[in-house]
Structures are given as C-alpha cells and as structure tokens.
Structure 1
Amino acid sequence: MRVLIAGASGMIGTELSAQLTAAGHEVWRLVRRRPTTDSEFNWAPAARMVDFTLMERVDAVVNLAGASLSRLPWTKAYERQILSSRLEATHTLTDAMRMAGRAPAVFVSGSAVGYYGDRPGQKLTENAIKGTGFLSDVVAAWETAAHLAPEKTRVITARTGVVIGRGGAMKPLLPLARLGLAGPIGTGGQHWPWVSLHDEAAAIVHLLGASTLSGPVNITGPTPATADQLLRALATAAHRPYGFPLPEKVVTLALREAGHELLLSSQKVIPEKLLADGFTFRDATVQDAMNRLLRAV
C-alpha cells in the first residue's frame, strides 16, 4: 500500500511509519514546513489547504493530527485549540478526498476513549453510548468530521487511550517513577485504558490492510488495568518503590477539568472489535508493556 499520514512526526506516527515501511508499504507524509524529500507534501490544515490530487495517488490515509492533550493546563483558549486542531485537520483531509477523482480505499482517523466519559464500573465496548464532558464532546465532533469522507472510503475512528511509549502520558510519569515518586492518583481504582506503542501502530496497520472493520474501533490493551495497576507496573519495571500518593483534591485543584478528564475518570474499555477480527496483541498486560518500555529507554 501507499499510505499518506498526517501527524507522522509524533510518537504514534513515527512508530506507524516504521512498521509500515518494515512491512513493505510506502509512506507519504503531510508536513507543515517545506518538504525535504519526495515522500513529503506540504499542507496547511488551519487554512484548509492540501493538494487534493494526493488522494488519487494513495491507497490509504491515516490522520493523527491534533493538539496534544498532555499539554497542561487546559486554559479556555487551549481547549478551543484541542477541538479546532482536530476538526481543521480532519475536514481538510475529507474535503480533499471528496474532490479527488479517485478517493482512497480506507481512512483511519485518530479518536480517543474520552468519547465514553467517566463510566466507573461499566464495561465499554464500541457499542457503548457517548458519555459526557469536554473530551467526550470533542471526540464526537472529531468522529463526525471523519465520516464526511466519500461513501466508497472505509472509515475507521481509532479510539485510543494511554499509549505506553517514549512520550505522551509516559513522558512526565517515567521520571517520577525513576525517582521513586510514583504512587496512587486519587483512589487509584479508576480504570485507565492503555495500549503499548507497538500494538497501537500494529493495530492501525491491521485496520489498513487485513481488516474490513469500519466505524469506531477501540485500540486498547486486551487486559484492562486500573490507574494503580498501571503506575505500580511502571514502578516495578523501573525497580523503584511505589506508594507516593497524589490525592484527588490536589489533582482537581492543580489541573481542574484536565485533571478529572485525564487522571480521575474511569473507563474500562474493551477492544472487542479488534479481538473478534483476529488481531493479536504483543503486549497482553500492562506489566508486559511497561517492562518492554523500560528495557528500551
């Protein structure tokens, strides 16, 4: 396949590009600077500008573009950027697909488990209804924009949680664990949907080629874990003590809405569609993912 990626320079995009290339596929990248190789193409999503003829020359498009959720605090201005950056990128891509004489066969658009909101005690498959809150509203609008792709294009919205890799949510947590400062956040009993970076990219590769799935797909590890289990696994992999608590009141006071949405919400998300589709996770438990991460850094 020839795959066009928006957001290829990020943590997930870099791993995805590597896995696609290793599998013999050709990767084209959308960049916001001057292109430096024949496989890079300029775009300006804020201005809705991209060469629509690119869509006629690729088999698939992956959209990973959007302002980082881990940049804190979430001011009102930054919340607007979180939403607008996702909608601008997605609309730019789907507009170009509709203008093309031949649209790509498949479109994988980034999404998030934030769609489900705070749902303690519930098992959340792709059939679960929308939750409430800022991120739930952002994700719903983001997914709606993705489905503006042409009818002949198979659209997947990849609902992802905490990606365990060298960046993202792990960037601030890893140094704390190495200092022996990892511990329960709030009660620690809230479920944090997680997936290893390798499996995140491998799932997208699977969805692009071997699969016929469409619509929302949960890309989360097959064994759900609580925040306490995830952070304890990180401390164990780092060979450091665990138990330095971060009370819920401190999280709420320091981070406000972002603290509740990112750290205190509970989402027991199950990758039902991927498992039924025959996808095999390399990292079956959060401890597997953490051990592999710590061996790599």
Structure 2
Amino acid sequence: MARAGHRAVIAIAGSSGLIGSALTAALRATDHRVLRIVRRTPANSEELHWNPANGEFDAEALAGVDAVVNLCGVNVGQRRWSGAFKQSLRDSRIEPTEVLATAVADAGVATLINASAVGYYGNTRDRVVDENQRAGSGFLAQLCEDWEAATLPAQYGGARVVLARTGLVLAPAGGALRRMRPLFAVGLGARLGSGRQYMSWISLEDEVRALLFAISHSSLSGPVNLTGPAPVTNAEFTTAFGSAVNRPTPLMLPGFAARTALGEFADEGLLTGQRAIPAALERAGFEFHHNTIGEALGYATARRDHD
C-alpha cells in the first residue's frame, strides 16, 4: 500500500476496543502514523472528531490518509437482546459505516477496511463456507448484510473495500475468553446444547496480522473471512479450553437453559454457528501463526498466566 519511503497514514474508527487497541499498537510499532477517529473533543493532532449519529465527519480531515479501518459496533453479546438493544446493534454499525464510507469516497482515500462478522452466513451447521457463500437467515445475518452494504459509497467512489468477516477472537486479555475463563478455571466450563454447532475462531495476534495484511495487499478486496483455518465444534472448543487451563469439562448447559438466560442471542450466537474458512486470505498468501484451536488457546491462556 505505502510507496517506498512513504510513511503510511491509517485512520481508525473504534480504536479503543480489543481489536482496535491491538491494531493501533501494531501499526505504530511498524512506524505507521495512526489517526484515531473519536466522538469526543480531540486531545491532540493524532485524533479526528466525528459525530456519526448526526452524519458529521469532515472528509477534508482524511486528506493524506492511505487507509481507513472501521471497527465500530456494540458487542452483540453485551446483554440480552431486547428490541431496543437490537436497534442499538444496528445503529452502532450501519450509520457510522455510511458516514465513513461517504467520507472515504469524498476524500479519495484508496482503501477502506470495514469490520463485519461470520454471522453473515447464518447457521451453517456442519457445512463448510467461504466468502462465496450468500448471506444466511436470522437477525445477525441481516445485520451483517446491511452493515456491509453501508460501505457502497466507498466502493462507488473507487476505494478498495475489504469486508473483514471476523470470527470469535481469542485474546490473552479481554474479549469472550475474559468472561469464560473464570468458569473454566474452576471446572465449570460446559458444552453448550448439543455441542455440535461450529465455532469459527481466530487468535487476536492473527486477527491483527490479517488486518495489516489486508491494509497492505492491494489485491485483496471484497469479503474476507478473518478466521483460523480449522473451525471446531463447541464440544471440541470446550475440551480444548479445558486442556489449556488444566481443568476437566464434563458439564453440559442444556439449550433451554441458555435460552432462558439469554433469549434470542442464545439461539443465534451460542447454539448455532458457522463453519467458515479463510479462503480469500490463504489464496492471497497469508500464513497463520495459530493454525489449530489448541495453539490459539495456548497463546491466549499462557499470556494471561504471566500477567
């Protein structure tokens, strides 16, 4: 992406989250300039102000920016799904993406990397899916489809747009493992329902590396699955996580109990899943550091043990 002798400038929306923080650190470590797109008053020249709820973002602020990375979005598992919360999931993704995509087009930014999720595919059961698969059914699939469609202004404006469909991110600190680890650490880790539903996962390290790869490889565009090469069933994940923290995992949480506790999210986010593979990344030459669930969980849990 960057020309020889040119220090690339990357603007990031959602830079304070788990992935955004790690990506910002990785970019700065490789001498890229990072501009953080923030909703509050900017604290310094490395921050750009926007107000997506009002459609406010000055495209001129993106002058000289090589790529914009949009990681905005309320966590889908943050709370039980009510009508209001589901609307907040849409509002935190679709309108901000439209605002950014329009600014990218108006400013002539070459690249937009936009977050999405493997929830796009709906429940694939044991069927392997890659980026050529159409959207599935359900709230999450529709959310992802509309989220990705919000990038169209950038595409029409001539930008290279990468739709980064991320799976479950396994991190040493934060993310889903932060909520799960205390249970697994005391032997209360449990298979969910039948345990046959697939989980597409990726280590945080490989997630960041894949985003850096997408930024720098101009041949990569369109939907790109940011998932490890070997998705696993929930039962396999549960066993592997137990092994990583040296605890048995004999328990099972019945589907009805998960539904009682979490409602609709249990059906779409826990008891069903996607068997998505990173075909586009691998075709472009990306190599994972963590190829198996055991390697990824070993990375995530070992790092925590030394905190």
TM-score by length of 2: 0.93
Matched, 1:77 2:84: yes
Matched, 1:151 2:151: no
CA deviation after TM superposition for structure 1 residue 211, in Å: 4.2
CA contact (8 A) 2:198 2:274 kept: yes
Match of 1:224 among 211, 226, 231: 231
Structure 1 unmatched ranges of 5 or more: none
Q: Does 1:210 align with 2:196?
A: no
The question of whether the paired residues in 1 share the 8 Å contact of 2:195 and 2:234 is answered with yes
Q: Distance in 1 between matches of 2:288 and 2:218?
A: 15
Most deviating of 145-154 and 265-274? 145-154
Could you tell me whether the CA contact under 8 Å between 1:211 and 1:277 is conserved in 2? no
Q: Does 1:245 align with 2:238?
A: no
Does 2:197 correspond to 1:175? Answer: no
| 8 Å contact from structure 2 (residues 105, 158) kept in 1 | no
CA distance in structure 2 between the aligned counterparts of 1:291 and 1:200, rounded to whole angstroms: 16
Structural mapping, 1:54-69, within 5 Å: 54-69=61-76
Q: For residues 275-294 of structure 1, give each alpha carbon's deviation from its aligned partner in whole angstroms, at most 9, with x where no partner exists.
A: 01100111111111111111
1:94 offset after TM fit, Å?
1.4
Matched, 1:117 2:122: yes
Contact 1:70 1:168 (8 Å CA) reproduced: no
Distance across 1 between alignment mates of 2:147 and 2:92: 10
Alignment root-mean-square deviation, CA: 1.2
Distance (whole Å) between structure 2 residues aligned to residue 138 and residue 243 of structure 1: 35
Q: CA deviation at 1:144?
A: 0.4
**Which residue of structure 1 lines up, in the alignment, with residue 146 of structure 2?**
141
**Percent identity of the aligned residues?**
39
Farther off after superposition, 174-183 or 156-165? 174-183
CA distance in 2, matches of 1:144, 1:42: 24
- Counterpart of 2:197, as a letter, is Q
Partner of 1:284: 291
Q: Normalising to structure 1: TM-score of the pair?
A: 0.96
Name which of structure 1's ranges 123-132 and 239-248 shifts more when overlaid on structure 2: 239-248
What is the SS of the residue equivalent to 1:62? strand
Q: Which amino acid aligns with 2:135?
A: K
